[in-house]
Structure 1
Amino acid sequence: NIAPGADDDGSGTVTILESLKYLLATPEWTPIRPVEFHWYAAEEVGLRGSKAVATEYAKANTSVYAQMQQDMTGYVRPGTSPVVNLISDFTNKNLNTFVETLVATYVGLPVSHSVCKYGCSDHFSWNATGYPSSYPFETELKDLNPNMHSQKDTIATIDFDHMADFTKLSIAYVVELTQDSATSC
């Protein structure tokens, strides 16, 4: 089946790209910690891309202070209000608390919490290799985008304001974790 993937995962891809674009255009931003932006292939067939990268980082003892996954950031089920849903399994509790503080400070949306019960996105690969990871998601799982993995996952279903909220969160995450060596999560 053809699945255009506007939300899964065009929305997360654009959220990351727009965050990077903004940060690179901000000369005042001078990070004291290294920052990497990643996009992975083969998530839908077993997290192959992120697993390969996270495994190589672990083998090389590469230091990673924190990882945040942005997968599906552009859907709000009609009749519901926007939220940031923090996935609480296969993630780092302290990092999730830090992300929740960022949402309150910079985004202003309610935060909910859900359990995937399996490796539902690329954050799992990082967590499985011992790196602190967080996964803020676009909706509560009960309000999951019914169009994902189908021909109906088109741009017509995207809530660009919600994507902008996730872009704000991503920018705040990077800036807060790279400006002060005392920032802890």
Structure 2
Amino acid sequence: MSEHRADQIARLLHASFHGAPDRGISKPDLARMWALELQWFSPEDSMGIADRLLEFGWLVEDEGSMMPNPHIEPLPPDLGWQPFSGSFTVIPAFVPPSTNDAPEPTQSESRPPQSKEQELPVEQSRQPLDRAEDSIQALIAHVARKSGLEQREVVRRAQRKRSALGPVTLWMAIALLAREQGLDMHEVLGIIES
């Protein structure tokens, strides 16, 4: 399993459920929070991500309410962090931490290895995976450091550019902000391409 992908999921769950009631959150409320309140995903993507997180063991359901799997190590997100739908097109199965008490499977119990990741159907994966999305946090930090703006302000201005320009990725909006601030674009491109 990609450790980066698992960390992204752990951050998403921490941000979504930190301070939530002990009884959990219903799937429609969780999808509404991701889509409307936080504006992280579209409503359709939000429901799909919640379904896959439940299917692959990251979420558990009890009487219609969902909550993170109790074996997940909480991972608070950094300031300015936000998930990107491209990071959730493939969701790995949750593998609980191993315990020393678990018996070793015998030869008759062992099964051939199966893929623990599932691709989204083409109709749900509207946007291709973008390598540059992995560098957004570093890009935000660089622009904030070089321009003197706070990271939160960098994200806010980039989001305003996105809403003004239409279908523009966040990393592109941050790059445009960096150019507007007079930063060295070779450094910015180096971060994007890394």
Structure with greater contact order relative to length (CA < 8 Å, sep ≥ 6):
1
TM over 0.5: no
Which has the larger helix fraction? 2
Larger radius of gyration: 2
TM-score by length of 1: 0.27
TM-score by length of 2: 0.26
